[in-house]
Amino acid sequence: MCCLVLWTHEAGAQTQIDTPPPIASAPPTQAVLPEAPPASLVVWNRTLAVFRATLGSATPALRAEAASARIESAFDRLDPAGITYSVAQLGNARGVVIFGGGALFAILEADLPQDGADSLETAGAQVVSRLQLLLREHREETQWRVILRNSIAALLATIAFVAIWLAGRRAYQWLLARLTRHAATWMKEPDIAGIDPRPFVISALEWLIWVVELGVRVAAGYIWLTFVLSRFAYSRPWGRTLGEFFIDTLTRMAAAVVDEIPNLVTLGIILFVTRGVAAAAGGWFRAVERGDLQVSWLDPVAAIAARRLMVLAIWLFAITVAYPYIPGASTDAFKGVSVFVGLVVSLGSAGVVGQMMGGLFVTFNRALRPGDVVRVGNVTGIVKELGIVSVTVVTRAHEEVTIPNAVVVADAITNFSRLSAGSIAVSTSVTIGYGTPWRQVRAMLLVAAARTDGILREPAPAVFETELSDFSVTYHLVAQGSTAVIRPVLLSRLHEQILDVFNEHGVQIMAPHFEAQPEKLAIVERSQWFANPATPVVNDNDR
């Protein structure tokens, strides 16, 4: 059979292709043979063709193996200019035969298409071109000048790559310092819903610059590897593959960017409009905060929280509108990430949302204001700040106590300064036996209040008999103190004066438990007021 001789004999012993002898029909059993998988004809790391059809008893794998061995054994004899092809009838099938001083291999019609070639003529021309290029590049391996030139080029590329890799860290640090400094300058007073975004912006810049640095390093390594592989004939197909992949990736990315330009323009418009609306709303609320604008339904303190909520609501609405225009928003990966983030936020924000709602209640209910002297639970002090999730109170020991808004809402709040403009409420109680006239006790308490530095004369202090117990009477002194003195100090001064006045008049204070009159009055004689190590107080304001 002519075709079988083509695959089993050396190049100089083929049968004449132009007038092939008649080929017997294939045995009937060949029609039911299982279809063999295709095989690629790879010679010297290059794919010349793909065989899909079985020729006689030769499967595609055997055809590829035989053709590869035939070409490699004839490398030294094959001339690129002598590689040709011819379309001929090979038995009961048509095919294109590749010649190089003799028939090397054939491509049948059943092997089509060949890398885009859908005709025998096109496939033959394509394979001839590839085989000629392979032979020319193979001869480069024997030319020492070409090898030396390519080796020097690869060495220079390696030096450049190492320099870029080492310079990447210094460039990263320099760029990070410069951008963070400019970011801090541009964002002098950032305020988005009461949250300072500068730490987040700086962290995002650090991450973005790190990604850029890593991308530059990886790209430099990719280009270096592509260049070095393409310098040498044997590895040149790998370099071409890497280069084509890189160019194809850039092309697809550029096409995707071009396709997304309308969405990016829409996102830019949404961002521009949102910034303008947020700035306008924030400016209006800031005018209320400063007192430049008077609104009956909104005081300056509540305007702070209202501004934060309004700005937050505007940005959330903008994000909702912009979501469909974000590149990749319709992909399954983006949807999966969105579901995961939503689940995490839902599970982790229940307590935070409760604290925020408590903060809104405290703020808009006007229960607390910065500067108020209050008692929340067992904490007494001056309100320093009303936050989104907590209230900050400074105690008399100059301790800053942070109270969650949920605790503030759930507990009783005592405000000592809200009803007294420019003053703070001070009150205390004493328990005195029935043997002391109530008028005398009232007078002594008023005298103690008058002697206390920081107690205002107007409105005048008042004394109330709040309880008639079994053995004593409870007297309650109420006065207004100056805001120049903190309440704990003022209350301490008042207690000191009460003790002195009652000791002067020989009236004992039996509190909180009074069961019987003692044989000797429980008072301190005046001569013992400054017993060692006590010393007289020269200036009470120095306490």
Q: Check whether residue 129 and residue 14 sit in a common domain.
A: yes
Most confident of 84-88, 199-203, 256-260, 378-382: 84-88
End-to-end CA distance of the chain: 123
**361: in domain:** no
**Taking 50 as the threshold, does the pLDDT of residue 22 lie above it?**
no
Q: Check whether residue 80 and residue 124 sit in a common domain.
A: yes
Q: Check whether residue 471 and residue 528 sit in a common domain.
A: yes
Q: Check whether residue 129 and residue 170 sit in a common domain.
A: no
| Predicted local confidence at residue 273, as pLDDT | 93
- CA distances for 191 relative to 309, 320, 463, 473, angstroms: 11, 21, 49, 56
The β-bridge partners of 90 are 93
Burial call 103-135: b when 16+ CB within 10 Å, e when fewer: bbbbbbeebbebeebeebebbbebbbebbbebb
Q: Check whether residue 278 and residue 344 sit in a common domain.
A: yes
Q: Name the least confident of 54-63, 145-154, 196-205, 233-242.
A: 196-205
Average pLDDT over residues 375-402: 79
| Predicted local confidence at residue 464, as pLDDT | 92
Better-scored residue on pLDDT, 194 or 459: 459
**Whether the model pTM is above 0.75:** no
| Predicted local confidence at residue 476, as pLDDT | 92
Better-scored residue on pLDDT, 331 or 212: 212
| Predicted local confidence at residue 17, as pLDDT | 39
**Taking 70 as the threshold, does the pLDDT of residue 130 lie above it?**
yes
> For a pLDDT cut of 90, what percent of the chain falls above it?
9
Q: Check whether residue 288 and residue 387 sit in a common domain.
A: no
**Taking 60 as the threshold, does the pLDDT of residue 350 lie above it?**
no
- CA 451, CA 456: separation in Å to the nearest integer? 10
Q: Check whether residue 427 and residue 533 sit in a common domain.
A: yes
When the pLDDT of each residue in the chain is averaged and rounded to a whole number, the result is: 78
> For a pLDDT cut of 70, what percent of the chain falls above it?
78
Range of the domain at 178: 144-259
- CA 163, CA 424: separation in Å to the nearest integer? 71
Of 123, 92, 119, the C-alpha closest to 105 is: 123
- CA 308, CA 315: separation in Å to the nearest integer? 11
Handedness of CA 358, 363, 368, 371 (dihedral sign): positive
Q: Check whether residue 322 and residue 449 sit in a common domain.
A: no
- CA 106, CA 99: separation in Å to the nearest integer? 9
**214: in domain:** yes
Q: Name the least confident of 35-49, 97-111, 233-247, 387-401.
A: 387-401
| Predicted local confidence at residue 450, as pLDDT | 92
Peptide bond into 512 cis (omega under 30): yes
Which position has the token pair 């005046």? 526
Q: Which of 73, 107, 140 is the last residue of a domain?
A: 140
**215: in domain:** yes
Q: Check whether residue 448 and residue 497 sit in a common domain.
A: yes
**Domain count across the chain:** 5
| Predicted local confidence at residue 15, as pLDDT | 37
Contact 472, 507 (CB under 8 A): no
| Predicted local confidence at residue 461, as pLDDT | 92
**372: in domain:** yes
| Predicted local confidence at residue 409, as pLDDT | 72
Average pLDDT over residues 477-506: 88
Q: What is the CATH number of the domain that holds 529?
A: 3.30.70.100
Task: Put residue 5 in one of left, alpha, beta given phi > 0 → left and psi -120 to 50 → alpha.
Answer: alpha
Peptide bond into 324 cis (omega under 30): no
Better-scored residue on pLDDT, 287 or 29: 287
**359: in domain:** no
pLDDT band of 499, cuts 50, 70, 90: very high
**362: in domain:** no
Write the DSSP string, 464-496: EEEEE-SSEEEEEEEEEEETTS-HHHHHHHHHH
The β-bridge partners of 132 are none
Q: Check whether residue 286 and residue 376 sit in a common domain.
A: no
| Predicted local confidence at residue 272, as pLDDT | 92
Average pLDDT over residues 219-241: 86
Write the DSSP string, 137-205: HHHHTT-HHHHHHHHHHHHHHHHHHHHHHHHHHHHHHHHHHHHHHHHHHH-SS--BTTB--HHHHHHHH
**Taking 50 as the threshold, does the pLDDT of residue 79 lie above it?**
yes
Q: Which of 193, 225, 259 is the last residue of a domain?
A: 259
Q: Check whether residue 180 and residue 216 sit in a common domain.
A: yes
| Predicted local confidence at residue 314, as pLDDT | 92
**94: in domain:** yes
Q: Which tens digit of pLDDT belongs to each residue from 533-543?
A: 655 554 444 44
Average pLDDT over residues 1-15: 38
Q: Which tens digit of pLDDT belongs to each residue from 165-207?
A: 888 777 777 877 777 777 666 665 545 444 566 667 777 777 8
Q: What is the CATH number of the domain that holds 402?
A: 2.30.30.60
**Taking 90 as the threshold, does the pLDDT of residue 241 lie above it?**
no
Q: Which tens digit of pLDDT belongs to each residue from 399-416?
A: 788 888 777 777 777 777
Which position has the token pair 């610059």? 209
| Predicted local confidence at residue 16, as pLDDT | 39
**355: in domain:** no
Average pLDDT over residues 442-453: 92
Q: Check whether residue 18 and residue 135 sit in a common domain.
A: yes
Q: Which of 91, 117, 140 is the last residue of a domain?
A: 140
pLDDT band of 20, cuts 50, 70, 90: very low
